[in-house]
Structures are given as C-alpha cells and as structure tokens.
C-alpha cells in the first residue's frame, strides 16, 4: 500500500514538473535573448537600449534636461551639462536601460530663464522616437503632491526616502527631521500610492 502511495506521489510530482516546463516554453522564459515579439514599429525589440530625440519647441532656450524612470522620485543629474538647447533644435540621448527593463520615463526640461520647467510624465518610450516639448508642457509644479513628515519618535531622523509603492528604487534622501519638528516634502512625481522610509 505504501509503495502504491509513493508511486502516486512521484507520478503527480513528475506531471507538475512537466507542466511547469511546458509553461516556461509557452511564455518563453527559457530563452534569455527572446524579445517577446513586441518590437512594435521602431522599438527594435525589448532587449534594445533605446535612443530618443528631444525636440525643444517651448519658445525658450533649455539648459537642463533630466530623464528618469517613472517609478523613481530622483531626477538625478542634468544630462545636458553646461550646454543649451535652443528653441527649434533637437538633442539625441541613449537611455541606460533596455526596453525589457523599463519603457516608461518622466522627462523634464529646465528653461535658462524665468525658472520655467517643462515636463512629460509616463512617456512610453520606443527606439528612435522623437519627443517634442511645447508650451503645453509648461509645469508650475502645483500638481505635485506635498506631504509633511512629523517626527514625534524621540530620536532624530538622519534621512527621509520616499518612493512609489511599485518601485524598488528609494532614490536620494529628502533631508533630515529632528525630534519634535517636521519637514515638508514635495514629491517630484504625479500623485500616486507611495511608501516612506526614514533612517534614524
């Protein structure tokens, strides 16, 4: 009787293993070079590291260009450096991640005068696409969520990190908060579900 039960368990285990192997083959997870057949126009497949072109039709000279994954709260450093992008001109950038890792980006252009910022959120990127900024992308940042961290813990907080719940990237610290004080933080992403991490 014990032998029959053992054979039954072995048989079930083998059936499950074969079924899982079949699923892997069906979804293409066994082939690390598989592009998934979703190249769609000029995307060049999901393993492609995309190159995009930024066109400045804002009416302003741009001296700051920032590109980040839409799941990140950190804009990082200015990709343009100390140069400028005149109105009506373009600039090409090769992003750092393949399409299989990330397809959605936030893009920000800073004007050289007036403190104006032009932003596009959650742009679905494909290889060799051109992204045009106009006056319609002018953003006064009033749409960005602001939260206040109130510290009543009895200890000082040495760092505050905030991120979208769907992201694993905590990004840069928003600053410190002493005990019995507070810190107001503007989050540089559209309103969404967020998580907060505080270091003491």
Is 134 found in the same domain as 55?
yes
* pLDDT number for residue 115: 86
Strands 181-186 and 146-151: antiparallel
pTM: 0.59
* pLDDT number for residue 28: 33
Closest alpha carbon to 141 in 192, 186, 173, 185: 186
CA angle 135, 138, 144 (to 5 degrees): 160
* pLDDT number for residue 44: 56
User: Is 44 among the domain residues?
Assistant: no
30, two tokens: 């066994």
User: Is 75 among the domain residues?
Assistant: yes
CATH number of the domain encompassing residue 109: 2.60.40.2890
How many domains in the chain?
Answer: 3
User: Is 100 among the domain residues?
Assistant: yes
* pLDDT number for residue 146: 80
Is 158 found in the same domain as 133?
no
User: Is 192 among the domain residues?
Assistant: yes
Residue 120 and residue 132 in contact, taking contact as beta carbons nearer than 8 Å? no
CA distance 92 to 128: 9
Cα-Cα-Cα-Cα dihedral sign, residues 129, 134, 136, 142: positive
| 28: CB partners within 8 A, 6+ apart | 34, 36
Is 58 found in the same domain as 11?
no
Q: What range defines the domain where residue 103 resides?
A: 51-139
β-pair partners for 185: 147
Is 55 found in the same domain as 26?
no
Give the residue carrying structure tokens 């980040």: 68
* pLDDT number for residue 130: 97
* pLDDT number for residue 67: 93
Mean pLDDT, consecutive 10-residue stretches, the chain (200 aa), reads: 43 39 34 33 69 95 92 83 86 91 93 90 94 91 78 91 76 86 80 64
Q: Kindly calculate the radius of gyration of the chain based on its CA atoms and give it in whole angstroms.
A: 24
């Amino acid at each position: 009787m014990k032998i029959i039960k053992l054979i039954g368990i072995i048989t079930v285990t083998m059936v499950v293993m074969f079924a899982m192997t079949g699923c892997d083959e069906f979804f293409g997870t066994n082939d690390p070079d598989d592009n998934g057949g979703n190249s769609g126009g000029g995307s060049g497949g999901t393993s492609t590291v995309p190159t995009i072109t930024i066109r400045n039709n804002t009416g302003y000279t741009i001296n700051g260009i920032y590109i980040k994954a839409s799941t990140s709260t950190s804009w990082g450093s200015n990709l343009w450096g100390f140069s400028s992008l005149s109105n009506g001109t373009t600039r090409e950038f090769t992003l750092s991640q393949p399409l299989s890792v990330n397809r959605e980006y936030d893009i920000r252009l800073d004007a050289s005068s007036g403190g104006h910022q032009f932003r596009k959120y959650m742009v679905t990127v494909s290889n060799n696409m051109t992204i045009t900024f106009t006056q319609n992308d002018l953003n006064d940042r009033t749409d960005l969520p602001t939260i206040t961290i109130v510290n009543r813990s009895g200890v000082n907080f040495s760092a505050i990190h905030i991120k979208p719940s769907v992201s694993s990237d905590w990004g840069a610290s928003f600053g410190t908060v002493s005990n019995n004080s507070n810190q107001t933080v503007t989050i540089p992403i559209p309103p969404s579900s967020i998580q907060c991490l505080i270091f003491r």
